[in-house]
């Protein structure tokens, strides 16, 4: 008669359990981290400032964003930095 050695007696069984646990942890992190990130984000209402400072980098996109903020009336100065 054959004896049952158990699930953990074979190395393949141990590897399978380990990979299954890693998969469960990965899936938990995958679905929980976005909600934790949303908890950390705070959206404040825009306030008037003395100047809008544009740091150069991505070219016209940043400048156009500064112009949009200027047109909304949040500042009366735009400062560009190289």
The domain locations on the chain are: 7-40, 52-81
Could you tell me which residue, 70 or 57, shows the higher pLDDT?
A: 70
What pLDDT sits at residue 25?
95
pTM beyond 0.85: no
3-state secondary structure of 81: strand
| DSSP, residue by residue, 15-80 | HHHHHHHHHHHHHHHHHHHHHHHHHH---PPP---S-EEEE-SSTHHHHHHHHHHHHTTS-S-EEE
What pLDDT sits at residue 60?
84
* Mean pLDDT value across the chain: 85
User: How much is the average pLDDT of 61-69?
Assistant: 92
Q: Summarize pLDDT for 3-33 with one digit per residue, the tens.
A: 666 665 556 678 888 999 999 999 998 888 8
Say what percent of the chain tops pLDDT 90.
44
């Amino acid at each position: 008669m054959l004896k049952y050695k158990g699930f953990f007696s074979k190395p393949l069984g141990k590897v399978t359990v380990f990979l299954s646990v890693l998969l469960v942890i990965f899936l938990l992190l995958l679905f929980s981290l976005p909600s934790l990130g949303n908890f950390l984000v705070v959206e404040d209402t825009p306030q008037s400032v003395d100047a809008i400072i544009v740091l150069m980098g991505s070219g016209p996109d940043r400048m156009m964003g500064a112009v949009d903020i200027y047109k909304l009336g949040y500042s009366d100065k735009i400062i560009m930095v190289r």
